[in-house]
Amino acid sequence: MSTSDPDRRYHHGDLRASLVAAALAQLEVGGAAALSLRGAARTCGVSAMAPYRHFSGKEELLEAVAASGFEDLAVALEAADASADGAQALAAQGAAYVTFACRQPALFRLMFMGPGCGPDRSRAYAILERRAATLAGSRMAVADLTLAAWSLVHGLAALILDRRVPLAGEAAEDAARRITLAFARLAAEAR
C-alpha cells in the first residue's frame, strides 16, 4: 500500500543473502555460540519463520555461511600464490591460510568443525595441490605432500585459534610463514 514505510515491504527482496550476511556478522562479533536463526531473522527485520523459506533449518544456513567462507579462502590463497619460487609460494599460501583463520576465527571454525562435513575437495585444495606438485619428488608423493602441507597449516591455524599455542596476530602469521617455508625447503631439497 502507498502509505507504508518502504523499509517494511512484505517481501524483503533478497532474504537469503541477507541472512547469510547477518549470520556472518553475528559470527564475527559474538562467536558461534551467539549465532541463532531467530537472531539472524531479527537482524533482517523479518519473522522467526521466514528463514525456513530459504533454508531447511539452521544447519543449512550454517552450510551456506561456510560456503561463502570457502569462497573467500580460495580467493585469498590464489592471491598469495604469486611468487615464482615454489617454496616461497607455498609459504605465502600457508601464511595466508593462517591469516584468514586469525581474522575470522569463528567463520574458520564453522567452515571446518561445523555440522556440515561434506567431502568437498574445495577450490582451495586444488590451488594448494598445484603448488605442491612442483615440489614433490620420489621421497614424498604429490598426494602425501599436499596432505602434509594442508595439515600443517590447518593444524597450526586450529592450534592458534584455540590458544593452544602462545602466538597471536603478526607473530602467528610469521610462524606460519617460517614453518611452511622450512617444510617446503626440506621437501624440495630431499626431492
Partner DNA sequence: ATCGGATGTTGACATCGTACACAACCTCGC
Partner DNA sequence: GCGAGGTTGTGTACGATGTCAACATCCGAT
List the one residue out of 76, 58, 73 whose CA is nearest residue 20: 58
List the one residue out of 43, 54, 46 whose CA is nearest residue 12: 46
- Only one of the segments 38-46, 76-84, 115-123, 159-167 lies at the binding site for DNA (rule: CB under 7 A); that segment is 38-46
- Only one of the segments 30-38, 81-89, 93-101, 141-149 lies at the binding site for DNA (rule: CB under 7 A); that segment is 30-38
**Alpha helix (H) residue ranges in 81-135:** 86-103, 105-113, 123-133
Window 65-84: residues binding a copy of itself (CB under 8 A)? none
Residue 10 contacts which entry, a copy of itself, DNA, none (Cβ below 5-8 A, type-dependent): DNA
The DSSP letter of residue 12 is -
Answer whether 154's CB lies under 8 Å from 106's CB.
no
Answer whether 70's CB lies under 8 Å from 168's CB.
no
| Closer residue to a copy of itself, CB minimum distance, 126 or 148 | 148
List the one residue out of 15, 39, 36, 35 whose CA is nearest residue 27: 35
Question: Taking the complex as a whole, how short is the minimal distance between the CB of residue 159 and a copy of itself, in angstroms?
Answer: 6
Alpha-carbon Rg of the chain, whole angstroms? 20
| Closer residue to DNA, CB minimum distance, 66 or 98 | 66
| Closer residue to a copy of itself, CB minimum distance, 50 or 179 | 179
The DSSP letter of residue 164 is S
In the set 43, 54, 72, 74, which binds DNA (CB under 7 A)? 54
| Closer residue to DNA, CB minimum distance, 3 or 138 | 3
| Closer residue to DNA, CB minimum distance, 47 or 151 | 47
Say how far apart CA 179 and CA 152 lie, in whole Å: 9
Window 119-178: residues binding a copy of itself (CB under 8 A)? 119, 139-140, 144, 147-148, 150-159, 161-166, 175, 178
Interaction of residue 1 with DNA, rule CB under 7 A? yes
Cell 500500500 locates to 1
Query: Where on the chain is the footprint of DNA (CB under 7 A)?
Result: 1, 4, 9-13, 15, 35-39, 46-50, 52-54, 57-59
